[in-house]
Amino acid sequence: MSAKYIIHTCPERIWYVEKFLIPSMTAQGIDRGAIDVYCDENHDGCLESCMRTFERMPDDDSGTWHMQDDVVISSRFRELTEEHDSGVVCGHCYSLHRDRLDAIGWVEPTQMWFSFPCIRIPNRIARGCAEYYRRVIVPDPQYSGWISAKRYDDTIFSVYMSFMQSREKVLNLVPNVVAHIDYLIGGTVCNAATKTAPETYFDEPERIEELKAMLSKNPKNKKGGDKCV
């Protein structure tokens, strides 16, 4: 069975998802029917929309590749996501996470990358994380800052994995299958459109340059920050 994908997006970024990201995936032979899209129409924010996406995952033993709407995929994206379509798989690594840069391959949850630009999550774990968020995180005052910021979905997932799925091994995948390119399409409200986190294990800089060239011909690139908060 081929891999399944879901792209987390919002109205300000749907143009990029529809005109660039999805076509780049189908160009590699990924069936359009294998790609779902969750659009945060009401601007609930990254955290709430992420948990709602997790809650809608099928109640089965399969898994889904969760992608954010500000990535460019590698030329081996389909190959690698289908080859490693099992367990929790981190397909992206920020260079800013220096304490985990050398954690390559199968690791404990405490060493997993903050990989929400592209991460495979078993559906049972995604649903479990959403349930843990509603039951444990939301009522706990120590997490009120995260909730009010409408961010930290990746951090909450890391907390859930460390405490509730500590026996689950996680694959930190090299090479990375995506590069984070929010700075090319307007940045975000919570992160200005500047490149602050260079890619670590994405080994195809030419893919980013190709995207730059394509975006320069699209007027939508003038504005379009992702209103994540």
Nearest by Cα to 39 from 56, 23, 27: 56
pLDDT tens sequence across 167-199: 999 999 999 999 999 999 987 644 433 444 567
Nearest by Cα to 95 from 174, 200, 181, 12: 200
Residue range 95-99: mean pLDDT, rounded: 76
Q: Does 18 map to a domain?
A: yes
pLDDT at residue 225, as a whole number: 46
Q: Does 28 map to a domain?
A: yes
Sequence-separated (6 or more) residues with CB below 8 Å from residue 135: none
Averaged pLDDT score across all residues of the chain: 90
Q: Does 229 map to a domain?
A: no
pLDDT-derived band at 207, boundaries 50, 70, 90: very high
Q: Does 227 map to a domain?
A: no
Q: Does 67 map to a domain?
A: yes
Q: Which run of H or of E encompasses 66?
A: strand 63-68
Q: Into how many domains does the chain fold?
A: 1
pLDDT at residue 99, as a whole number: 84
pLDDT at residue 1, as a whole number: 63
* Contact by Cβ (8 Å): 106, 166: no
H helices of the chain, in order, are 14-16, 22-26, 46-55, 77-83, 123-132, 144-149, 153-164, 205-215
CB atoms within 10 A of CB 13: 27
Residue range 158-174: mean pLDDT, rounded: 97
pLDDT at 95 over 80: no
- Read off the pTM: 0.91
pLDDT at 79 over 90: yes
Q: How would you classify the pairing of strands 88-90 and 71-73?
A: unpaired
pLDDT at 31 over 70: yes
pLDDT at 71 over 60: yes
| Coil, strand or helix at 151 | coil
Domain residue limits at 14: 5-222
- Give the least confident one: 88-102, 162-176, 195-209: 195-209
Nearest by Cα to 155 from 204, 218, 97: 97
Q: Does 103 map to a domain?
A: yes
Cα 140 from Cα 133, distance rounded (Å): 10
Q: Which two tokens stand for residue 206?
A: 């030419």
pLDDT at residue 219, as a whole number: 60
pLDDT-derived band at 96, boundaries 50, 70, 90: confident
Cα 170 from Cα 99, distance rounded (Å): 16
- Give the least confident one: 35-49, 118-132, 166-180, 182-196: 182-196
Q: Does 162 map to a domain?
A: yes
Give the CATH number, domain containing residue 56.
3.90.550
Higher pLDDT, 189 or 32: 32
* Exposed e or buried b per residue across 39-57, where buried means at least 16 C-beta atoms within 10 angstroms of its C-beta: ebeebebbbbbbbebbeeb
